[in-house]
Amino acid sequence: MISKGVKHMLVATFFFSLMNFLVKLIGHIPSYEVVFFRCLVSIVLSLFFLIKLKIPIWGNNKKYLILRGLFGIMALSMYFTTLQKIPLASAVTIQYLSPIFTSIFAIWILSEKLSWQQFAFFGVSFAGVALLKGFDSNIDNTYFILGLGAAIFSALAYNMVAKVRYTDHPYVVVFYFPLIGLPVTGAISFLNWVPPQGWDWLILLLIGVTTQIAQVNMTKALQSENIATVSSIRYLGIIYALLISVLYFGETYTWLTVAGMALVVIGVVLNIRYRFKHK
């Protein structure tokens, strides 16, 4: 029988994959503008829950909350760009390096320690990325670097979340993402506005809604189940991405690039399981 935590992570993975599909589908709208609409939906939903639950919206550890917002916006903008510009499954795979960078940054930010086994797992994942980049001619160097940048800034954002886990409510942490992102992406979008047309408005709304559903379910999964177990399930997203990429967008992959994706996932999952086995 499937546990509650696993069910939540399966739902989260599905809706994250749906979000990826929608961002790819609306590739004619600049990524920063897509992020702007995503923040618009998120700030409305976040404020609704904060007010309903009577939680002070400004939080306590403002320095790290602001940094979480800044790093998160940079990461999402870069990630959405890669989703729009390179094959879907490749963009998703590169983003899945973020747990590795999270562990590395945690050495300095959270004073955590890493074992030689973990560095070996990191080597497996980076070998997968090298294989992916080396044998996928559809990945331009610029977007490859942007993809790595997205994973790095995601890792920094995750470390900021960890810094405030004992001082600020999760809804406040979520709120700071659109609080910082809305004016930043709004200003950029105003200067380079591409008017959405017809169905674009519905797709932009759905991007915000699917992301919110995915984040809520992922949080519930992480709170109710062994983290190593549910975190591993998230990597089903690469299979979803491959299927959508090939069947809907007609993108192609060689066996070597698929092998590279597999190595990335194997390295990350082994690291996750090792961390929580030796916690």
55-83: pLDDT as tens digits: 999 988 899 999 999 999 999 999 999 99
Output the pTM of the full model.
0.88
Q: Using CA atoms, how far apart are residues 39 and 237, in angstroms rounded to an integer?
A: 23
Say yes or no to pLDDT of 168 above 70. yes
pLDDT at 165: 78
pLDDT tens-digit readout, 173-207 = 888 989 999 999 999 999 889 999 999 999 999 99
Say yes or no to pLDDT of 233 above 80. no
> How many CB atoms are located within 10 Å of the residue 155 CB?
23
- Tell me the three state secondary structure of residue 3: coil
Question: What is the arithmetic mean of pLDDT over 226-241?
Answer: 73
190 vs 273, residue with greater confidence: 190
The answer to whether residues 87 and 254 touch, using CB atoms and an 8 Å cutoff, is: no
Beta-carbon contacts of residue 64 (< 8 Å; ≥ 6 apart): 160, 163, 164
pLDDT at 230: 65
Question: What is the arithmetic mean of pLDDT over 139-165?
Answer: 90
Say yes or no to pLDDT of 23 above 60. yes
Say yes or no to pLDDT of 228 above 60. no
pLDDT > 70: what percent of the chain?
95
Q: What is the mean pLDDT of the chain?
A: 87
pLDDT at 132: 85
Check the CA dihedral 168-169-172-174 and report its sign.
positive
Question: What is the arithmetic mean of pLDDT over 49-58?
Answer: 91
pLDDT tens-digit readout, 86-135 = 999 999 999 988 888 888 888 888 888 888 888 998 899 999 988 888 77
Write the DSSP assignment of 27-89 as a string of letters: TTS-HHHHHHHHHHHHHHHHHHHHHHTT--TT-S-HHHHHHHHHHHHHHHHHHHHHHHHS-HH
Confidence of residue 161 (pLDDT cuts 50, 70, 90): confident
